[in-house]
Structure 1
Amino acid sequence: MTSAPNWLAGRLKNDAGSGLPKYLQLRKAISDAIADTTLTEAEKLPAEEVLVKMSGFSLGTVQRALSVLVDDGLLTRKQGSGTFVADKEAPMRAPFYHCKFLDETSGEILPIYSRILGRTVVTDSGAWSDHLRGDEHVCIERIFSINNEFDVYTRAYIVRGVFPLLDDSPLDTLSGINIKELLEREYRRPATRFSEKLSVSVFPPAVCKLLKLPKGSAGATLDISAFDRRGEAVYFQSLSIPPNPRKLVVS
């Protein structure tokens, strides 16, 4: 357990005037501490009562922040032992909604291990801009390792400034998140309707390189346009799926 006098207080002080709810201030402070390795992989966090004293927040606020961090895949809870920084190789906690890869023998859904590649602001046009409003979009690039057997390259697009947690959170904290679940939980913007397009084509050279495929390799591309209850666009996601022996189920 980190023995620094109070690694939390300084981080919370920086965000005191941010306007974020207290539980999100605490979430950000802990996720920042994980990102800069003040809290290291598999490290046990202080008990909830200690975090109350360190933060000055209520027990309910501390519990809510920890619950969100567990949902984000940054923390894990072990019954009778406490709360720990999650293993970076742990699978995504919330199942990926749009497609699943199955073990045909057992019928079980294969785990997805997510790794962040980068986050950029894009102003050019594409399928995402046809779906989303706004002139600037944030693109979050990740690699999904399917059961450590093969990789899928994914890009998720949102309108810049609409969902600040995705715009501003430390990159390391975005690896294991489920974007659909986060938008529903934190912004009350559940995606309830989807338009999905599956096609097969030759991957661009950059995608082949990321997926460790020979140049000119072909594969499947799954484009997902997500809408909320009012029919407004929420996000756009594109997956580049290489040839593989697993059964793909599109939701």
Structure 2
Amino acid sequence: MSDLFTPAAFADPNSGPLYLQLHRRIAEAIAAGDLRPGDSLPSEREMAALTGLSRVTVRKGVEALVASGQLVQKRGSGTFVAPQVERLEQALSLLTSFTEDMQRRGMQVESRWLARGLHTPAPEEVMALGLGANDRVARLERVRSSDGVPLAIERASLPARLLPDPETVDASLYAVLEARGNRPVRAVQRISAANLGPKDADLLGVATGAAGLRIERLSYLPSGQVVEFTRSLYRGDAYDFAVELKLAPEAERTS
């Protein structure tokens, strides 16, 4: 690492702005494996002393690498090479839970619970779930991880009459619903791009403003009753969503 931050490395005036030179040198070291996931970088002050660059220049170069997801900064701990995240492809044509999807891939699933309990529903929950004036709602909020890497934040709301004891949900919500005869059989999802705010970015271990995917799901029982209203945030660097498209029937194409 000592060669990475020598003043001689920044002596060529034709190599572009100094912060970009620093950015490029660190990025190339990560790509070459000289800096590995989890490795710590010198502090801003130390890096400035090693390179002969100003602290403002060092900060600008490091911030660009944090914004691109190559470095992560942990408050009170320092700056580290970001863990490599395997991109996952999920088919939009299958109604599966996060637990089922990860287990199908042979990956370990973990949940970090943020909240679960019964509440007075918010107006959007009343509308989405078709609740009455005196109905309660079960809320489940957790960070979903696989093999130790946080991938998504799930915030699920269900009618309390279908899930009167949300604290019984451990790993899979759908497993609990299925055991009670209330597993959804179809769902409507809306996916949109999002830039993660400070709180959600911290929960997912990425930089504030990092790209994410916002997914809203309404799931239905065979009767047509809404059983689940879930708002999830997925890491944009970890997920690809795929859907199969088929040619429309000829009658529809020519009408």
Report the TM-score when normalising by structure 2: 0.48
Larger Rg: 2
Report the TM-score when normalising by structure 1: 0.49
